[in-house]
């Protein structure tokens, strides 16, 4: 099979990467091919699903033109700087320019040890591979910038975690794999030449229209700040908790990357964290904007010597750029929330008070986040449906009081039929998200019984999340108290 590779990152200087051949696996078997994505990439999905495809997608064989490399990067993990991380279990095969003209990385995650593996085995278990496949494709369908999944294959081998688990390889597709941590890697080494090369490369690849302002590193910093502020606003809109917002998991392209212990809110709780290793709640739901700001601050630091030759001036530029983060985030988040509430116009302070009031009431009432907003669409269509939204609150009156202010606000909107408003709201309030208890269930079915039917069922609804799927309606309902997933674990 021909992959139309054009590998620009592999042509960057030697300190950017390490040539790495994937390690052979015993019996690769394709469990899922993303046909729509294969089509965009100009790849033959039938071939990918064949034995030849299984060999390529597991790393047992290399497609022509692949130049497999592991990427060097550093990163702040839970606030602590680690000067060398790098792809310890991911191998970049190369880049493909798709039919849509977009350049994308093709990476095998779980393809064996690399120069950056440290103590790790270079492998991935089936559970986390299916989780990443499902959640990244759900995020894509929700309109959130994200890396995507082209394929999942099992390896026929076991990986040793707390227990022995079936091994798997995910083919991840990304705008690129350049992270804030990639800049930190070179900054920590005082490699100014590499920093300049990387800044130019990243700006050219991701923000070409920003080239030529006279200060390319500044333009890059501004664009990444903008992309991250907008990204996190989208996360909050769908109730997503990333779980490990380390700077090595913060993409320069503004895509969501590295689905480890990620999860979606069931009941609304701003302090919610799922990750078993996030003891202090650093990466809790409502803390994510603050952390994104912190992460882009690390990018600014790494770029400091590139912003100006004069240190004081460089700090001034960085500060100016970083100060804009809160306002960019607030504006992006306000847009997200207006769409969720069915507002086509903005009344800045009034709308902020309206949403703050709602979230205050939701937090105290054990309200399922996704289901509430979906029912609010019905309430927008007909006040008779208010009871169904109200019934999600332990104290239904808490909803009714708020609904009165919401309806008063709707009166100040331009003329629009209730049905039209509800239809618009249904495109911003999904019926289906990858609910944690369902994700856990499908992982058990796949890993313990080789039953992929639950995976396929959930994938089919979360990739069309705004539609009703009456035959799979049970996948939209919140967990019963005893079904609630309390903790998620890293994909390692
Ligand atoms: P992550 O938590 O997936 O973002 O990974 C953090 C760092 O640990 C990265 O440098 C990974 O490449 C590395 N890593 C994670 N899991 C493994 C593994 N099983 N083998 C080798 N390196 C790993
Ligand atoms: Mg990572």
Structure-block tokens of residue 9: 């990152």
Q: How far is the CA of 261 from the centre of ligand 1 (A)?
A: 13
Classify residue 146: in a domain, yes or no.
yes
Please identify, by atom number, the ligand 1 atom nearest to the C-alpha of residue 124: 19
Cα-Cα-Cα-Cα dihedral sign, residues 351, 356, 361, 362: positive
Report whether 226 contacts 328 (CB < 8 A): yes
Q: Is residue 454 within 6 Å of ligand 1 at its C-beta?
A: no
Q: Tell me the per-residue pLDDT of 385-437, one tens digit each, with 9 for 90 and over.
A: 999 999 999 999 999 999 999 999 999 999 999 999 999 999 999 999 999 99
Alpha carbon of 72 to ligand 2 centroid (Å): 12
Let me know if residue 107 belongs to a domain. yes
- Tell me the three state secondary structure of residue 24: coil
Look at residues 115, 139, 174 and tell me which one is the last residue of a structural domain.
174
Q: Is residue 32 part of a domain?
A: yes
Atom of ligand 1 nearest to the CA of 114: 21
Residues in the chain: 492
Residue 25 lies in a domain: yes
In a 13 Å sphere around the CA of 384, the CA atoms on its Cβ side amount to 1
- In the predicted model, is pLDDT for residue 491 greater than 60? no
Q: What is the pLDDT of residues 130-173, one digit of tens each?
A: 999 999 999 999 999 999 999 999 999 999 999 999 999 999 99
Core vs surface per residue 249-258: b (16+ CB within 10 A) or e: bbbbbbbbbb
How far apart are alpha carbons 445 and 439 in whole angstroms? 10
In a domain, 95, yes or no: yes
Report how many domains make up the chain. 2
- Which one of 18, 77, 89 would you pick to mutate in the ligand 1 pocket, going by the greatest count of ligand atoms within 8 A of its CB? 89
Ligand 1 atom showing the smallest separation from residue 85 Cα: 10
Q: Which of 69, 86, 88, 129 to probe ligand 1 with, by most ligand atoms within 8 A of CB?
A: 88
200 CB-near residues (< 8 Å, 6+ apart): 216
Q: Residue 376 domain-assigned? A: yes
Residue 465 lies in a domain: no
CB-ligand 1 contact for 120 (6 Å cutoff)? yes
Query: Which tokens in the block code for residue 204?
Result: 């050219």
Q: Of all residues in the chain, what percent are helix, strand and coil, respectively (each to 5)?
A: 50, 15, 35
Which ligand 1 atom lies nearest to the CA of residue 248?
Answer: 4
- Residue 257 to residues 48, 221, 301: CA-CA distances in angstroms? 24, 19, 22
At 173-215, the pLDDT tens digits run: 999 999 999 999 999 999 999 999 999 999 999 999 999 999 9
Report the candidate in 130, 107, 110, 108 with the shortest Cα–Cα distance to residue 120: 110
Question: How many whole angstroms from 418 Cα to the centroid of ligand 2?
Answer: 45
Name the helix (H) or strand (E) containing 104: strand 103-109
Integer Cα distance of 459 and 86 in angstroms: 30
* Beta partners for residue 107, in sequence order: 92, 172
Q: Which of 366, 395, 426 is the last residue of a domain?
A: 426
Q: Is the CB of 272 under 6 A from ligand 1?
A: no
Q: Which domain holds residue 135?
A: 9-174
For atom 13 of ligand 1, the residue with the nearest CA is 88
Is any ligand 1 atom within 6 A of the Cβ of residue 122?
yes
Q: What is the per-residue pLDDT across 305-357, written as a single tens digit (0 to 9) for each?
A: 999 999 999 999 999 999 999 999 999 999 999 999 999 999 988 999 999 99
Establish whether residue 117 lines the binding site of ligand 1, counting it when its CB lies within 6 angstroms of any ligand atom.
yes
Q: Is residue 145 part of a domain?
A: yes
Handedness of CA 464, 467, 473, 475 (dihedral sign): positive
Map residue 412 onto helix, strand or coil. coil
Per-residue pLDDT reduced to its tens digit, 29-71: 999 999 999 999 999 999 999 999 999 999 999 999 999 999 9
CA distance 258 to 139: 12
Residue 490's pLDDT band, with cuts at 50, 70 and 90, is low
Alpha helices in 239-381 (DSSP H): 288-307, 311-323, 325-341, 348-363, 369-381
Average pLDDT, stretch 15-20?
A: 98
- Cβ atoms of 260 and 492 within 8 Å: the answer is yes
Q: Say yes or no: CB of residue 196 within 6 Å of ligand 1.
A: no
For residue range 223-261, what is the model confidence (pLDDT) as tens digits?
Answer: 999 999 999 999 999 999 999 999 999 999 999 999 999
Angle at 208 between CA 177 and CA 217, to 5 degrees: 75
- Tell me phi and psi for residue 105, to 5 degrees: -80, 140
Question: Measuring CA to CA, which residue among 52, 446, 490, 76 is closest to residue 243?
Answer: 490
Among 73, 111, 120, 159, residue to substitute to test ligand 1 (most atoms within 8 Å of Cβ): 120
Whether the Cβ atoms of residue 197 and residue 86 lie closer than 8 Å to each other:
no
Report, as residue numbers or ranges, the catalytic residues.
248
Q: State which of 367, 392, 426 marks the end of a domain.
A: 426
């Amino acid at each position: 099979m021909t992959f139309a590779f054009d590998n620009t990152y592999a042509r960057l200087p030697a300190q950017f990467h390490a040539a790495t051949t994937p390690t052979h696996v015993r019996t690769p078997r394709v469990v899922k091919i993303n046909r729509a994505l294969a089509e965009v990439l100009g790849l033959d999905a039938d071939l990918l699903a064949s034995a030849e495809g299984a060999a390529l997608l597991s790393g047992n064989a290399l497609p022509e033109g692949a130049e497999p490399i592991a990427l060097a990067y550093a990163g702040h993990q839970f606030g602590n700087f680690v000067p060398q991380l790098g792809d310890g279990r991911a191998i970049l095969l190369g880049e493909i320019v798709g039919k849509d003209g977009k350049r994308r990385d093709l990476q095998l995650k779980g393809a064996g040890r690399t120069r950056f593996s440290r103590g790790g085995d270079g492998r991935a278990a089936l559970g986390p591979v299916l989780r990443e496949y499902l959640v990244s494709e759900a995020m894509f369908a929700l309109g959130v910038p994200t890396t995507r999944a082209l394929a999942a294959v099992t390896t026929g081998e076991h990986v040793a975690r707390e227990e022995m688990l079936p091994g798997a390889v995910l083919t991840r597709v990304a705008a690129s794999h350049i992270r804030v941590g990639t800049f930190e890697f070179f900054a920590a080494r005082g490699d100014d030449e590499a920093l300049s090369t990387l800044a130019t490369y990243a700006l050219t690849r991701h923000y070409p229209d920003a080239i030529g302002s006279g200060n390319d590193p500044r333009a890059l910093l501004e664009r990444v700040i903008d992309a991250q502020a907008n990204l996190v606003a989208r996360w909050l809109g769908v109730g997503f908790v990333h779980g490990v917002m380390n700077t090595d998991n913060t993409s320069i392209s503004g895509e969501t990357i590295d689905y480890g212990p990620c999860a979606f809110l069931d009941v609304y709780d701003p302090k919610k964290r799922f990750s078993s290793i996030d003891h202090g709640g650093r990466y809790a739901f409502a803390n994510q904007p603050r952390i994104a700001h912190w992460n882009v601050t690390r990018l600014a630091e790494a770029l400091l010597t590139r912003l100006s030759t004069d240190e004081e001036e460089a700090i001034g530029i960085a500060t100016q750029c970083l100060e804009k983060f809160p306002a960019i985030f607030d504006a992006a988040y306000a847009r997200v929330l207006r769409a969720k509430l069915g507002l086509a116009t903005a009344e800045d302070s009034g709308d902020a008070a309206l949403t703050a009031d709602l979230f205050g009431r939701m937090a105290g009432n054990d309200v399922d986040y996704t289901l509430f907003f979906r029912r609010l669409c019905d309430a927008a269509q007909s006040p008779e449906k208010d009871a169904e939204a109200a019934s999600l609150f332990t104290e239904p009156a808490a909803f009714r009081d708020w609904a009165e202010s919401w309806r008063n606000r709707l009166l100040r909107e331009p003329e629009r039929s209730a049905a039209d408003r509800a239809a618009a709201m249904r495109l911003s309030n999904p019926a289906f998200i990858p609910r944690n208890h369902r994700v856990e269930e499908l992982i058990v079915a796949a890993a313990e019984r080789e039953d992929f039917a639950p995976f396929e069922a959930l994938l089919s609804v979360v990739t069309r999340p705004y539609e009703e799927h009456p035959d799979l309606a049970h996948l939209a309902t919140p967990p019963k108290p005893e079904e609630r997933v309390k903790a998620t674990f890293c994909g390692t």
